[in-house]
Amino acid sequence: MRLSRSFLPTFKENPAEAQIVSHRLMLRSGLIRQTASGIYAWLPAGLRILRNISQIVREEQDSVGAQEVLMPTLQSADLWKRSGRYDAYGPEMLRIQDRHKRDLLYGPTNEEMITDIFGQIINSYKELPQTLYHIQWKFRDEVRPRFGVMRGREFLMKDAYSFDLNYEAAVASYQRMMLAYLRTFQRLGVRAVPMRADTGPIGGELSHEFLILAPTGESGVFYDAALEGQDWLDTPVDVTDPAALETFYKRVTTPYAATDEMHDTTAWEAVPEERRREGRGVEVGHIFHFGNKYTKAMDVSVVGADGERLYPEMGSYGIGVSRLVGAIIEASHDDNGIIWPDAVAPFKAVIINLKAGDETCDAVCEGIYNKNTEDFLYDDTSDRAGTKFANADLMGHPWQIIVGPRSAKEGRVELKRRATGERHDLTVDEALSLVLAGA
RNA sequence: CGGGCAGUAGCGCAGUCUGGUAGCGCAUCAGUCUGGGGGACUGGGGGUCGUGGGUUCGAAUCCCGCCUGCCCGACCA
């Protein structure tokens, strides 16, 4: 993308409406525009980030056997009356009527709908297990939206739903999803720690929240440093083998980790002092086993081996995709702007032409740009160097390929890594191979 | 939903108390000089002052209603 032709409005000053750093940076770097309280339009660069995150989420869901569907945003109230949640949900649910005065709602979640669809299609125990997911916009009419996309009313979420024949199989589904989540967050370039969460009225132990560590997080977190630095992408787990899953699960859940809500002082003090980590975190994922609550309420069953009716055991698994954009920024920025992890950055690199109009600079820049017009942002504007640097830092591109008139004559460029500030004087080819290699 | 604050140019703000031709900085447009960390100078364009009503010779300014947004709290992925 050529910056001179882009729809990428950046600002030097902070909009007054934004208080927290991620909200400010998202507005200033031209990712979003607010259109109503808690509702945002995503501009081109913001949309790229959303897509990058979605794609990683998708790949990791697929890799543990979940299948993608796409359910609608609008749902019939009848569905929710069947589960009893239409009355129970309260004013956070946005209720709508169509022209025939039929009650509809903008979905805040999809347990009812997926259970209904599942029930229409699956009849036999032989067809289990099934895990389905979709990435779709949701709406919760929060009393007080704030913090930009971190606490919006409309938000993009991945939600998955597992259906199993019995509790043991449901546990395996839950554990598979935990692995997928650890891999997803690792690929996104952030540390998200799973923490035991409150299971509410259903009880049981199978509920975990995933929190990204960031000083501005809404929850206090306590965890054992043993959870740091584990490479889940490099940890092979046979997701079809319950024993292997159980071993993996023990490894993740044995070290202490809890939010302030679930904090257990006694257990905490059993953690060796040098391994105790305290901080704040933003919840970006939640996995939950809830048994046959919905299959029973909605009378969705399958036929078992002996011809009896069985109510499948369900779990649901959410990742706040749009919230992650804000959360990643909270965890990864400095005074100059955003520092995008490579995997989510809207552009792999920005090419900074320090003297647009200079024959050599233009030629070198064009040469680089043409190698990858899709993933490079080319700053071909006639702004001054300082403006371009400030803008590049603000937008947080992982790499800056700086092309100045002196070095361009020798076919050399300067390559700056946003995260570290390191700069290297390299040939065009050397710079390109570093940038295109990824990190 | 309780408490507080604010709507004036794309963004940040002054002007409102004490009514009298709507301003500043950034951005933008034209030009000159500049040219490696948001540069300088000259000239220009851009505003139903959130909205409806009222008071007044005259309202951004005073009065009343409404809408929208922000902050703190309770709530929440």
Question: In the prediction, which pLDDT does A348 show?
Answer: 96
A329 plus A396 within the same structural domain: no
Q: Token pair for residue A263?
A: 């904090």
pLDDT at A69 over 90: yes
Residue nearest to nucleotide B73 (CA to C1'): A144
Residue where one domain finishes, among candidates A296, A311, A337: A337
* Protein CA A35 to sugar C1' B48 (Å): 21
A209 in the same domain as A330? yes
A284-299 residues labelled b (16+ CB within 10 A) or e (exposed): bbbbbbbbbbbbebbe
Strands of the sheet containing A94-97, edge to edge, are A74-76, A103-106, A94-97
CA of A375 to C1' of B27 (A): 28
Shared domain for A119 and A42, answered yes or no, is yes
The CA–C1' separation of A402 and B41, in angstroms, is 29
Residues linked to residue A76 through DSSP beta bridges, in sequence order: A104
Q: Give the nucleotide with minimal C1' distance to the Cα of A23.
A: B70
Clarify whether residues A172 and A196 are in a common domain: yes
A403 & A289 share domain: no
Segment A263-303, tens digit of pLDDT = 888 999 999 999 999 989 999 999 999 999 999 999 999 99
Regarding whether A402 and A254 lie in a shared domain, the answer is no
Q: Which of chain B's bases lie under 7 Å from a protein CB?
A: 1-2, 11-13, 25-27, 34-39, 68-77
For the segment A7-23, the average pLDDT, to the nearest whole number, is 91
Q: How far is the CA of A357 from the C1' of B32 (A)?
A: 18
Q: What is the pTM of this model?
A: 0.96
pLDDT value at position A201? 60
Q: Please give the C-alpha separations between residue A334 and each of A329, A339, A401, A418, in angstroms, as whole numbers.
A: 9, 7, 20, 10
The amino acid that residue A92 corresponds to is E
A208 within some domain: yes
Q: What is the ipTM score, two decimals?
A: 0.93
Dump pLDDT digits (tens) for A197-219.
Answer: 876 666 567 899 999 998 888 88
The nt closest to A414 (CA vs C1′) is B36
Instruction: Give the Cα separation of A345 and A349 in Å (integer).
Output: 9
- What is the total count of domains within chain A? 2
Would A342 be classed as within a structural domain? no
Task: Encode pLDDT of A340-399 as tens digits.
Answer: 999 999 999 999 999 999 999 999 999 999 999 999 999 999 999 999 999 999 999 999
Based on the fold, state whether residues A17 and A42 are members of the same structural domain: yes
Residue A439 has pLDDT above 60, yes or no: no
Pair A364, A326 in one domain: no
* Rounded Cα gap, residues A416 and A420, in angstroms: 8
A261 secondary structure, DSSP code = G
Q: Taking 90 as the threshold, does the pLDDT of residue A260 lie above it? A: no
Nearest nt to A90, CA vs C1'?
Answer: B75
| A15 CA: nearest nucleotide by C1' | B11
Q: CA–C1' distance A352–B36 (Å)?
A: 11
Distance in angstroms, CA of A219 to C1' of B72? 17
Query: In the predicted model, what is the mean pLDDT of residues A24-45?
Result: 94
Cα–Cα nearest to A46, from A24, A29, A23: A29
Q: In this predicted model, what pLDDT tens digit does every residue of A409-419 receive, in sequence order?
A: 999 999 999 99
Structural domain for A416, as ranges: 347-437
